[in-house]
Chains A and B, each alone.
Chain A
Amino acid sequence: MSDIPTITINGKEIPARAGQTILDVAIENGIEIPNLCHDARLKPSGACRLCLVEVEGQKQPVTACTFEISEGLVVKTETDFIRRLRKTVLELLFYEHLGVCTTCDDNGDCKLQRYAYEYQLDDDVFQISTVNVAQENYTTGNEAIEYDPDKCIRCGRCIRICEEVQMDSALTFKDRAANIEVTTAFDIPLNDSTCELCGQCISTCPTGALYERQAKGKGQCKDILRTRTTCPYCGVGCQIDLNVNPKTNKIVRVTSEVGCIPNDGNLCAKGRFAMDFVASEKRLTCPLIKRNGEFEKATWDEATNFIAERLTKIKTQNGPDSIAGLSSAKCTNEDNYIFQKFIRAVIGTNNVDHCARLCHSSTVAGLARAFGSGAMTNSIDELKNSACIFIIGSNTSEAHPVIALSIKEAVARNGAKLIVADPRQIDIVRFAELHLSQKPGTDVALINAMMNVIISEKLLDSDFINDRTEGFDAMAEALKDFTPEKAEEITTVPAEKIRQAARIYAGALTATIVYSMGITQHTTGTDNVLSLANLSMLTGNLGKESTGVNPLRGQNNVQGACDIGALPNVYPGYQSVEDSAIRAKFEKAWAKELSGNKGLTVVEIFHAVETGDIKAIYIMGENPALSDPNLNRTRKALDMVDFLVVQDIFLSETAQYAEVVLPSFCFAEKDGTFTNTERRVQRVRKAVTPPAGARNDWEIVCEVATKMGYRMQYDGAETIMNEIASVTPIYGGISFDRIDSVGLQWPCTDKDHPGTKYLHKGKFTRGRGKFHPVEFKAPAEEPSDEYPFVLSTGRQLYQYHTGTMTRKSAVINQVSPTGYVEIHIEDAGKLGIADGDTVEVATIRGRVSTLAKVTRTIERGWLFMPFHFCEGPANMLTIDALDPTAKIPEYKVCAATIRKE
């Protein structure tokens, strides 16, 4: 067989690829073969029998979706015989499909409806003898998903996607023959099943049998306008289509197109079901000015005049460095660019930072030192082909659910070996070859010991080390005594498991590291990152496909906000503010003299309020009153600061401290770009009309700037992006035209540059990769008699950040109503705590009341709290000790105690 087999379809010769099915080839070549059980994400099943075609030499018709092509295959797709068969199949489907198009949400986007028309079905060839009456089924009582068995054609796609893509296996068929119906195993309610509410079942359903309960009756597909944009949750950057009913100006549902990059039509619970906030009645619609302790409505002119006057006065009296700005990882690149430009050029300080400080500043610091760039080295799509995936400190399936799908695919379909190092037995451990349950805050010890094994067992890549790196000998020397046994004492992970992990990682053809906040949010965050950089360079797992060091970014545009310079030490494109040549470039571009001093970081800004060094803070779209560590101290600072401006879509916990609150647009009302975790710059598009009275973030900032005497005016987001490209080399080739259908990955230096799939190919950004000897250091606060537990904080699947957006969703509120603290069943037993009890968790900094979640997935002596909830906020407890380099606080480790209330 030749490499490019040629097949004949309906008399036309078509080149194909080995391994394709007839249906694959037909779809690629625009030949329509009707099909209902096919979804490119799934293994072919051949269940619906609609894609039957005739193949020369085959006694019987074959299903195009399952029949693999070979050289010289002759296929006929539209013979009378085949069309007759298909018509019978369709008639039989209508023998069970009792749906009525007139009231169905899918009207206008239903294949069954389309085929029924095309084949001109007689309405009642086979007369239905009994009509099912609507009855309770597994979705009854679930806010997200509803199943109508009368519309179900039993194609099994929902079950298959749950099993094959989501790998959750919540769904199955019950019964046999014509009685089969979709349900959960043992027919339990969906709410009690393993369902993760990803809604993938709805996305693949070819009829209206599975649908979003909240969308029912809110608009039929035939009347819906779809706008492609980027999901506002997490850093994966899923491409979503907002389905808007133009009559109501409301988002009816969220869909995603199979085949789109980077998510291939897959979404998680948040992306699919948590868009209620856009049309929330709690949206801000009018500027507010606090007078006598109460907010009063103000006009835009009043508000912006007031801000311009106050900021000008403070700047004049106390100098520009007495003002700080917090930009936003939730806003677009264009918003961030304007904001940092405003702080730098108008205020005249580098005191601009944002919440990346709290999540991945240690990544930026560590990877920049080791490699020269502080971003994910490789792409999401490469994960599925890795031979070994080492997840450390990332609860991937909860915090980055769609990336977790690629990891699951790598393991379950492609035979990759997964190692998970995490103190808790997180969900993705189900797929792991090895789970290392290290004590929180001991990552360096674990990684050093793995490297010790790799060196002593000669599993290292000497060629790579010699050709591409420097500093190996010093690092190797530092590791000499760091045996697995020594690490076992520190980490509690058995030495033998550490050896196994080292051998699996080093022995794989391609090995990739995936990490997140379990690594970064420590006083040793930069050290942790450097250790991972060491590990990957030691084994040559850099600069090629399906390898690398891959920090998963937590917020939709945290990568972009960093890229675009919402950081106190760099201009857009990581260009140092302390480099005079670069500063001169920006002074010229912005026609303004700029400060050459690094600014303050997030936590430092609040600490500087206490000392009186910071007098005013301008916050755009951040909520430090809930997200920052040691909240009592943060909130005191917010209270104390002379002048606080908050620009947001809701009156957040932080906004309540403000003098002036400015209502802004949310993502669904904006044009612009977000940059996802794999450095891909993607479009954000306006899908709904914003609430009257709110304004675009960048426009608000421009108005304030203009009123402060520096004219900032742009036609729109596209013009801003053009300016970004002109001053930011890594974004040099980005333009709205080029990223219209698929985003580009930076570095993309000019308009012909194709973007960069993976970094450091052939050469590191900094030239040679640099090994750093890293010593193990204990966390800032260790358990004591009074505070005997180690408390960690983090995310959970259904919530996002401080919950301002997710907690407006009925779906999310049903599945995740409030906060909790996880405690091991034995510890709970000793303390007389039962599952669901109200408990008080306390640290030296504060105490909160929450519910106990008694589990075996956490180790004895450790506690875990999600940080999304304003009732019982975990950050009342966390410590604001900082990593000395990156200034990231140690959210992941503090000493705590717990008792039943």
Chain B
Amino acid sequence: MPTDTSQIGKTKTYRAQLLICAGTGCVSNRAFKVRDALVEEIKKQDLVEEVQVVATGCQGFCAQGPIIIVQPDGIFYQMLTVDDVHLLIEEHLVKGRPVEKLMYIPSKGKPPIPKLSDIAFFSKQRLIVLKNRGLIDPEKIDEYIARDGYQALAKVLTSMTPEQVIDEIKASGLRGRGGAGFSTGRKWELAREASGNGKYIICNADEGDPGAFMDRSVIESDPHAVLEGMLIGAYAIGSEYGYIYIREEYPLAMKRLHIAIDQAREYGLLGDDILGCGFNFDVSVHRGAGAFICGEETSLIASLEGRTPEPRIRPPFPAQSGLWGKPTNINNVETWTNVPAIINRGSEWFSSIGTESSKGTKVFSVVGKVTNTGLVEVPMGTTLREIVHDIGGGIPGGKRFKAVQTGGPSGGCIPESLLDLPIDYERLAEVGSIMGSGGLIVMDEETCMVDVARYFLDFLRSESCGKCTTCREGIAAMHDIVADICNGQGKPEHIGLLQDLAEAVKDASLCALGGTAPNPVLSTLRYFNDEYEAHIKDKKCPAGVCQALIKYSIDAEKCKGCTLCSKHCPEEAITGKTKEAHIIDEEKCIKCGACRESCKFEAVLVE
């Protein structure tokens, strides 16, 4: 839904602006309802001339949505509902008294933090890719331009040769943010050097990792930055046409992209003779149908051509023969978005951030058993501990941290002993994981690592395209073995078999999907071997997750007979009188854990 434009005049100034997050997370938490209520309340309070409501892109703090930042004070309000609106307007905007009860409280008993800049989630981040998040209306090109938008494009078109642009990107040390980490400048150079005309560039926005939403958020909050990056790349390699390949499941991102493209065309920033410099470039948006494999570049190209998305052997690389057989440069959303910043601020500035081999920042979607789930951008070299404990606010409910998985479903699980690992491409590879596109899943003591391996194998076995034997059957075979272990059918020889099979799948698969798919198995075998042993030898799941290996019971000492558990039990397996200890009928119990979650006295035991 577009913002109510009747409130906005381009040159009009307001006493206050309410920046309401309209990213997918907040929108699904009814941010638009809150927005409409705000507009209504402002009319009612006769503040239309003084207060403006702006729907911004994702602000990253998704766990707390819907959120609003009141400017110019920088006050941060969270978890708003329609019922809070009257109070917020009345108190803050009429009476000038910020509303404490709507502010962020870092942990129980601590005082609320009024300002966004003081919240650890935000203060530890460094924004390059997400610099405009929450600050501009992504559906208005003027707001992007007002924050130096398209300045980098003007700079390259008027004062740099394509070669100079490539040199600048190479010098910056920018590496592909889609996961492989290949030098972006070098990639561009290969595409530029490739003979043949009619070159293409592609933006890979087919973000398939479960729990990852970096690309979606970037497009939703700053679509012009993606376009500007592509324009600069197109100029550098000598391409006049580009495609943005985006998941069908991202309707909001797609809508904002279309608006941005229309506006850019209207402003002469896409099309023929851009900025009067004789440079032509246009772009179209292609919707993917939701196959994980399409994130792999040769599959994506096959899909764009209307063929079955299967990876093919490289060489030839897309830079030599890509879309329709033409030299093609493909980068992901985050890579493209870094480009304008590098051009504007210089490669030296960019390469000063990060580690020896990995420069700049990386955006992570932090999810799982962590207090502050959301989207964070940190300099390369930030430790996992800083991300999990400082920015992420640690593990909720006082539980113990167990592992963090980076890089999406084919990433490895990294144990607590390695939490001080600084994030960069090589260090993650050394410990058996990958940077991937930036998924980061935090697991606590109640997570079973064998079950985690099973879960990701289950995902991958249905997302393998099926072309090569080792990926198609190897993942299925690994899954079946791990599932047997989870089901209590594990045999001692399974561990060796699994290890050998995982190594073979890694060594023998055609593309990176198969090549990395064994990571969850290999890393859990490496760091959490004791859990496998417990499943196989003792027929026990130490985390209490694998249903075939666990038993629920009620501690009669602790049970107060509140009856809550029996009310929550879907199978009527719990009996007992009020204020007397309850009992679970093992025959009926389906081990769903509803009783344990509902118990306020920790009386439900799992073993």
- A-side residues, CB < 8 A to B, are 44-50, 52, 60-61, 63, 66, 68, 84-85, 88-89, 92-93, 95-96, 125-126, 129, 153-154, 156, 172-173, 175-180
Contact = CB atoms under 8 A, between A and B. Distances in A.
A85 B464 contact: no
Interface of B: 291, 293, 308, 312-313, 315, 461-470, 472-477, 480-481, 497, 500-501, 504, 507-510
A58 to B, nearest CB: 11
A178 B467 contact: no
Nearest to A68: B315
Contacts, number: 97
B507 A178 contact: no
A66 B508 contact: no
28 contacts: A46-B313, A47-B467, A47-B468, A47-B469, A50-B469, A60-B507, A66-B313, A84-B504, A88-B500, A88-B504, A88-B508, A89-B470, A89-B504, A92-B470, A92-B473, A96-B472, A96-B473, A126-B481, A154-B467, A154-B469, A176-B463, A176-B465, A177-B462, A177-B475, A177-B476, A178-B464, A178-B473, A180-B472
Given A49-B510, A88-B508, A95 B476 contact: yes
Contacts of A125: 497
Contacts of B312: 45-46
A63 B509 CA distance: 10
Contacts of A49: 468-470, 508-510
B466 A176 contact: yes
B500 A177 contact: no
A172 B470 CA distance: 20
Contact of B308 (A47, A60, A173): A173
A176 B291 CA distance: 9
B510 A173 contact: no
A154 B310 CA distance: 13
A50 B291 CA distance: 26
Given A129-B480, A177-B461, A92 B469 contact: yes
B472 A178 contact: yes
Contact of A176 (B315, B464, B507, B510): B464
B510 A47 contact: yes
A46 to B, nearest CB: 4
Nearest to A94: B473
Contacts of B476: 95, 177-178
A134 to B, nearest CB: 21
Nearest to A52: B508
A92 B481 CA distance: 13
Nearest to A43: B312
B473 A95 contact: yes
A89 B509 CA distance: 10
A89 B474 CA distance: 8
Given A93-B473, A154-B472, A180 B466 contact: yes
Nearest to B292: A176
B464 A177 contact: yes
Contacts of B509: 49
Nearest to B501: A88
Question: Which of B470, B477, B510 lies at the interface centre, i.e. has the most chain A CB atoms within 10 A of its CB?
Answer: B477
Closest 6 CB pairs of A and B: A180-B466, A92-B473, A88-B504, A177-B464, A178-B476, A66-B313
Contacts of B469: 47-50, 89, 92-93, 153-154
Question: Which of B462, B464, B467 lies at the interface centre, i.e. has the most chain A CB atoms within 10 A of its CB?
Answer: B467
A47 B473 CA distance: 12
B261 to A, nearest CB: 31
Contacts of A180: 466, 472
Question: Which of B461, B472, B507 lies at the interface centre, i.e. has the most chain A CB atoms within 10 A of its CB?
Answer: B472
A50 B510 CA distance: 11
A45 to B, nearest CB: 8
Given A49-B469, A176-B463, 13 more contacts: A45-B467, A46-B468, A49-B510, A85-B504, A88-B504, A89-B469, A89-B504, A92-B470, A96-B473, A176-B291, A177-B465, A177-B476, A178-B461
B196 to A, nearest CB: 14
B463 to A, nearest CB: 7
B469 to A, nearest CB: 5
Contacts of B504: 84-85, 88-89
Nearest to B316: A68
Nearest to A179: B466
A126 B467 contact: no
B480 A176 contact: no
Contacts of A129: 480
Contacts of B507: 60-61, 85
B324 to A, nearest CB: 14
A48 B501 CA distance: 16
A878 B301 CA distance: 54
A173 B507 CA distance: 25
A156 B310 CA distance: 11
A96 B477 CA distance: 10
Contacts of A93: 469, 473
A92 B508 CA distance: 12
A95 B469 CA distance: 10
Contacts of A126: 477, 480-481
A776 B440 CA distance: 79
A46 B508 CA distance: 10
A156 B468 CA distance: 10
Contacts of A172: 308
A84 B500 CA distance: 10
A47 B461 CA distance: 17
Contacts of B510: 46-47, 49, 63
Contacts of A88: 470, 474, 500-501, 504, 508
Contacts of A44: 313
A52 to B, nearest CB: 6
Nearest to B465: A176
Contacts of B308: 172-173
Contacts of B315: 68
A89 B477 contact: no
A327 to B, nearest CB: 51
A574 to B, nearest CB: 48
A93 B508 CA distance: 13
A152 to B, nearest CB: 11
Contacts of A68: 315
Nearest to B509: A49
Contacts of B468: 46-49
Contacts of B470: 49, 88-89, 92
A85 B313 contact: no
Contact of A173 (B466, B474, B501, B508): B466
Contact of B508 (A85, A156, A178): A85
A564 B241 CA distance: 62
Contact of B477 (A61, A92, A179): A92
B461 A61 contact: no
Contacts of A89: 469-470, 504, 508
A60 B308 CA distance: 27
Contacts of B464: 176-178
A45 B466 CA distance: 13
A156 B467 contact: yes
Contacts of A175: 466
A93 B497 CA distance: 16
Nearest to A125: B497
A95 B497 CA distance: 14
A180 B507 CA distance: 23
A89 B503 CA distance: 12
Nearest to A97: B473
Contacts of B465: 176-177
Contacts of A85: 504, 507-508
Nearest to B462: A177
A357 B184 CA distance: 69
Nearest to A181: B466
Contacts of B462: 176-177, 179
A126 B467 CA distance: 20
A10 to B, nearest CB: 20
Question: Which of A60, A93, A178 lies at the interface centre, i.e. has the most chain B CB atoms within 10 A of its CB?
Answer: A178
